């Protein structure tokens, strides 16, 4: 499916980004592009602007991309990358990593707009776990 | 004045409203304009927005339990029909 909003998960840890991408894909089902971008050079903990750029390119099906990041410098990496070319098509959202990713994935798989997918991720902040 | 409807439906035995089944349920609710909520008969006070995966997951509805659906809006009856058949057809 190519008419869905893509999702990029940026973490200091590639394992964390990949694991979350697997989880969100399993819940939302096939169709949504959920791309992990994690770790620094040589598999170290960190974030890489190149890895994020490539993940955004893979996730982008022309209907927008929502980017979630885990902590601190991963946010800065994404911000730095998007600086100057913010056209609203790629959106960094301020959302809890796990819940936001799952909420965004399900909204996207239902064919919702970039606006609604981003909002679902951000609204995840207020969701109780039980 | 928007229509408002309610119904109950039982989850298939062995299919909890979690992960993929919950997402299938939420995606069905998202097809409608009406505001839709879902609760469990076991825990009457707890009601979730049927269009929010996190809220539906937090309900923790177990397989075989009865869900209480409520919809408000112009397509409320259709939403409830679709959700009832979605729930009875859920598989793990």
What are phi and psi for residue A74, nearest 5 degrees? -70, -35
Residue A128 to residue B20: CA distance in whole angstroms: 19
User: What number is the ipTM of this complex?
Assistant: 0.91
| Chain B contact for A102 (CB, 8 A cutoff) | yes
For residue B26, the chain A residue with the least C-alpha distance is A106
Residue B25 appears among annotated catalytic residues: no
Considering only the C-alpha atoms of chain A, give the largest distance between any 2 of them, rounded to a whole number of Å. 41
Percent of chain A with pLDDT over 90: 87
- pLDDT for A8-58, tens place per residue? 999 999 999 999 999 999 999 989 999 999 998 888 999 999 999 999 999
What rounded mean pLDDT belongs to chain B?
94
Cβ neighbours of A23 (radius 10 Å): 16
- pLDDT for A115-130, tens place per residue? 999 999 999 999 988 8
Domain that holds residue B42: 4-88
The pLDDT score that the predictor gives to residue A73 is 92
The pLDDT score that the predictor gives to residue A67 is 98
At B89 the three-state DSSP class reads: coil
- Residues of chain A contacting B23 with CB distance shorter than 8 Å: 27-29, 106, 109
Residue B27: both structure tokens together: 């995606």
- Residues of chain B contacting A107 with CB distance shorter than 8 Å: 30, 53
Preferred mutation among A105, A127, A129 to probe B, highest tally of B CBs within 10 A: A127
Residue A80 to residue A129: CA distance in whole angstroms: 33
Q: pTM higher than 0.90, yes or no?
A: yes
| Chain B contact for A99 (CB, 8 A cutoff) | yes
The pLDDT score that the predictor gives to residue B41 is 85
Domain CATH number, residue B60: 3.30.1340.10
The Cα of B12 is separated from the nearest Cα of chain A by a number of Å equal to 19
- pLDDT for A87-106, tens place per residue? 789 999 999 999 999 999 99
Q: Count the domains in chain B.
A: 1
| Chain B contact for A109 (CB, 8 A cutoff) | yes
Residue in A27, A112, A128 nearest the CB of B30: A112
CATH of domain A6-125: 3.40.50.510
Q: How far apart are the first and last CA of chain A?
A: 33
């Amino acid at each position: 499916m190519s008419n869905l909003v893509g999702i990029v998960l940026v973490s200091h840890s590639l394992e964390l980004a990949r694991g979350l991408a697997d989880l969100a894909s399993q819940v939302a089902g096939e169709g949504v592009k959920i791309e992990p971008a994690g770790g620094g050079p040589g598999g170290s903990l960190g974030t890489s602007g190149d890895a994020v750029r490539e993940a955004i390119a893979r996730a982008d099906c022309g209907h927008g991309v929502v980017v979630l990041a885990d902590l601190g410098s991963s946010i800065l990496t994404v911000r730095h990358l998007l600086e100057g070319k913010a056209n609203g098509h790629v959106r960094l959202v301020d959302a809890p990593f796990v819940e936001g990713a799952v909420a965004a994935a399900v909204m996207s798989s239902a064919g919702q707009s970039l606006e609604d997918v981003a909002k679902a991720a951000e609204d995840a902040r207020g969701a109780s776990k039980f | 004045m928007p229509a408002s409807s309610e119904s109950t439906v039982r989850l298939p035995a062995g299919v909890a409203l979690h992960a993929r089944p919950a997402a299938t349920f939420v995606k069905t609710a998202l097809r409608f304009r009406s505001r839709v909520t879902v609760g469990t008969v076991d825990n009457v006070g707890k009601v979730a927005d049927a269009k929010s995966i996190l809220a539906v997951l937090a309900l923790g509805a177990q397989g075989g339990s009865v869900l209480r659906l409520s919809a408000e809006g112009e397509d409320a009856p259709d939403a409830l029909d679709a959700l009832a058949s979605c729930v009875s057809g859920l598989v793990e």
